[in-house]
């Protein structure tokens, strides 16, 4: 950039107003909270399906689905058009049918937890996967590894009391879930509560899966246990775009390819802050398609995916230099922040004189250390949060309005 | 610049501050990428500016190709903590980075790094 252009650019940044500010979401990709492959999921039509089949059904029905994960061991497909519907728990403690917007799969080698209840319900989930637990101040989310025997967990009646449909016969698709349509049956489930009888760790190697259910963020296992859905780093971006919970969010337009969310409205203290969000993949300096081959992918798919990853990172770098007015840098507070990529990216952001907020995510985990991130980047404000638990989101939105409004 | 070569060994390019200062941004990036693509380890006496680092990542991503080039490994000492002055804020310039090591991602692995020491393993 030339001297004059640089000055104009800097002055326009200092005094810009009117147009929505474009905020980049940067940071490394994170893992999801998942169920074992063979775990069944309860569907809105009253049937059950292994979660791995829900994933493959979404994959089959949405062959052009965008994979929004950039990690080599993850696949996170946008599949709202697949018409997969599940019973979800609302904040008012009602069970309602809801559409699955994303399916998630991750290669996993480690400990899972088998949770059993007094009425015989059971499920095997990753340690961080949350259950809905009755508390003194209402239902709350507690990860499997923090559950205790005797806890009261949300569940639904597994025998639907009735079906709302023109055709009383269950409509299925090759033994799978029915496409959502006016004629599709919808089971009428009701909320019940069950008591945890046993929690046992178990080792597991293979794929684990999760679903994203916009707005309600819950789905139900085949045995009737209500669990919370995936939270990834870029879930934060989705929370602001109406794809997830939030009456303070509205998005009139979404461009899939670029993963930009335009005109996101965040209301704070009686005024509305309008921003455009640029949701970027995890930044790296290397991509090897052989890493994808290790996760049950053929060479053609692995090469295609690695190429998409490189294009995504290149694009993110370009946006950072040319096309964003502020940056949210999301870090996993359980990981070492002193990586070269983090150091370089924060340096790049600082050199552009962009307002930056650092989000220390995953503070709900035991090994989270906010101080480690504060020490790494003492020149910036660090906002702790748990996107999973929705913890400290009020401060998150306050700071976004303060920094980017 | 001094080149150290060994038969069936690893070539190390030690690039002086003066050499880098005589080059434009894209020339610096080409110097690094071309060296790394040839399998060399490139050591910069004075590293790149943040803007150049951003371009280096972008160009690296564009040049990655299956079975040929998987990207770069890069390590430099952390920048000194200091608030940028008005000049830096206006013109987007930060103090220069410290010594930087760059190599092919499939041949160099960082073993340890702190503010005083970078320890890396280089394989042939």
CATH classification (class only), A3-29+235-404: alpha beta
Residues A154 and A121 sit within 8 Å (Cβ to Cβ): no
Confidence of residue A69 (pLDDT cuts 50, 70, 90): low
Q: Chain A residue with minimal CA distance to B95?
A: A351
B-chain CB neighbours of A284 within 8 Å are 71
Percent of chain A with pLDDT over 90: 6
Contact state of A379 with B73 under an 8 Å Cβ cutoff: no
- For B112, the closest chain A residue by CA position comes to A339
Distance of CA A396 to the CA centre of its chain: 17
**Which residue in A15, A24, A286 has the most chain B C-beta atoms within 10 A of its own C-beta, making it the best mutation to test that interface?**
A286
Q: For position A229, what pLDDT does the model report? A: 53
Lowest mean pLDDT among A26-40, A64-78, A166-180: A166-180
In terms of pLDDT, which residue wins out, A33 or A351? A351
Q: Which residue among A287, A303, A314 places its CB closest to the CB of B58? A: A314
pLDDT digits (tens, 9 = 90+) for A372-395: 999 888 889 999 987 666 678 778
Which one of A109-123, A245-259, B47-61 scores highest in mean pLDDT?
A: B47-61
CB proximity A378 to B under 8 Å: yes
Interchain CB contact of B83 with A (< 8 Å): yes
| Nearest residue, CB atoms, A353 vs list B70, B75, B92 | B92
Query: What is the residue extent of each domain of chain A?
Result: 3-29+235-404, 35-228
In total, the C-beta contacts within 8 angstroms joining chain A to chain B are 103
Q: Which residue segment(s) compose the domain that B64 sits in?
A: 2-122
Give the Cα separation of A108 and A198 in Å (integer): 23
Q: Does A321 touch chain B (CB under 8 A)?
A: yes
CB A19 within 8 A of CB A159: no
Distance from the B113 Cα atom to the nearest Cα atom in chain A, whole angstroms: 9
Give Cβ neighbours of residue A103 (< 8 Å, ≥ 6 apart): A54, A55, A58, A59, A76, A77, A79, A84, A209, A210, A211, A212
Residues of A in contact with B44 (CB under 8 A): none
CB A193 within 8 A of CB A153: yes
Distance CA A224, CA A401 (A): 40
**Which of A302, A314, A351, A374 is the best mutation test for B, with the most CBs of B within 10 A?**
A351
Q: What is the DSSP string of A77-131?
A: EE-GGG--EEEEE-TTS-EEEEE--EEEEEEEEEEEEEEEETTS-EEEE-TT-EE
Mutate one of B25, B37, B54, B105 to test the A interface: name it (highest A CB count within 10 A). B54
Nearest CA in chain B to A354: B89
At the fourth CATH level, the homologous superfamily of domain A35-228 is Hedgehog/Intein (Hint) domain (2.170.16.10)
pLDDT digits (tens, 9 = 90+) for A328-371: 887 888 888 877 778 888 888 888 888 888 888 888 888 889 99
The pLDDT tens digits for A87-107 are 888 777 778 888 888 888 888
- What total of structural domains would you count in chain B? 1
* ipTM score of complex: 0.82
Cα end-to-end distance, chain A, whole Å? 26
* Substitution target from B64, B99, B110 for chain A, most A beta carbons within 10 A: B64
Q: Using the beta-carbon criterion (under 8 Å), do A317 and B58 form an inter-chain contact? A: yes
Contact A286/B94, CB-based, under 8 Å?
no
The full DSSP string for A232-249 is -TTHHHHHTTTSSS-TT-
Work out the pLDDT band at A18, boundaries 50, 70, 90: very low
Instruction: Check residues A22 and A32 and name the one with the higher pLDDT.
Output: A22
SS3 call for B104 = strand
């Amino acid at each position: 950039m030339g001297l004059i252009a640089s000055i104009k650019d800097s002055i326009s940044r200092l005094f810009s107003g009117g147009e929505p500010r474009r905020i980049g979401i940067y940071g490394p990709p994170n893992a999801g909270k998942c169920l074992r492959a063979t775990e069944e999921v309860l569907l809105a039509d009253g049937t059950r399906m292994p979660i791995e089949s829900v994933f493959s059904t979404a994959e089959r029905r949405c062959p052009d689905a965008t994979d929004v994960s950039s990690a080599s061991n993850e696949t996170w497909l946008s599949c709202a058009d697949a018409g997969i519907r599940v019973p979800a728990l609302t904040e008012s403690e009602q069970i309602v049918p809801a559409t699955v917007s994303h399916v998630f799969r991750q290669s996993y080698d480690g400990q899972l937890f088998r949770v059993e209840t007094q009425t015989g319900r059971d499920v095997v989930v990753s340690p961080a996967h949350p259950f809905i637990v009755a508390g003194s101040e209402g239902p709350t989310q507690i990860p499997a590894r923090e559950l205790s025997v005797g806890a009261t967990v949300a569940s639904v009646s597994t025998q639907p009391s009735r079906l709302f449909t023109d055709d009383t016969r269950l409509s299925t698709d090759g033994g799978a879930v029915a496409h959502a349509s006016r004629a599709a049956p919808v089971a009428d489930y009701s909320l019940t509560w069950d008591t945890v009888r046993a929690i046992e760790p178990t080792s597991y190697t293979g794929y684990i899966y999760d679903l994203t259910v916009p707005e309600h963020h819950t789905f139900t296992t085949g045995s009737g246990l209500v669990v919370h859905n995936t939270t990834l780093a870029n879930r934060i971006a989705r929370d602001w775009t109406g794809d997830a919970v939030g009456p303070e969010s509205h998005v009139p337009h979404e461009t899939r390819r670029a993963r930009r969310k335009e005109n996101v409205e965040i209301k704070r203290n009686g005024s509305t802050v309008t921003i455009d969000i640029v949701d970027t993949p995890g930044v790296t300096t290397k991509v090897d398609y052989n890493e994808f081959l290790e996760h049950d992918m053929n060479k053609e798919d692995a090469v295609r995916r690695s190429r998409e990853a490189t294009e995504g990172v290149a694009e993110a770098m370009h946006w950072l230099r040319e096309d964003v007015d502020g940056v949210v840098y999301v870090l996993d507070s359980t990981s070492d922040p002193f990586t070269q990529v983090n150091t370089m990216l924060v340096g790049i952001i600082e050199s552009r004189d962009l307002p930056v907020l650092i989000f220390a995510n995953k503070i709900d985990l035991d090994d989270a250390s906010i101080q480690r991130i504060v020490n790494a980047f003492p020149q910036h404000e660090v906002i702790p949060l748990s996107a999973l638990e929705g913890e400290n989101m009020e401060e998150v939105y306050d700071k976004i309005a303060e920094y980017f409004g | 610049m001094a080149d150290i070569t060994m038969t069936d060994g690893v070539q190390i390019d030690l690039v002086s501050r003066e050499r880098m200062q005589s080059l434009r941004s894209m020339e610096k990036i080409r110097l690094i990428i071309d060296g790394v693509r040839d399998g060399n380890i490139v050591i910069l006496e004075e590293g790149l500016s943040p803007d150049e680092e951003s371009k280096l990542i972008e160009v690296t991503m564009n040049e990655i190709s299956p079975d040929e080039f998987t990207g770069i490994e890069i390590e430099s000492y952390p920048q000194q903590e200091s608030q940028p002055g008005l000049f830096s804020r206006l013109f987007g310039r930060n103090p220069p980075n410290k010594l930087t090591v760059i190599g092919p991602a499939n041949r160099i692995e960082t073993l340890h790094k702190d503010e005083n020491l970078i320890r890396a393993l280089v394989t042939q």
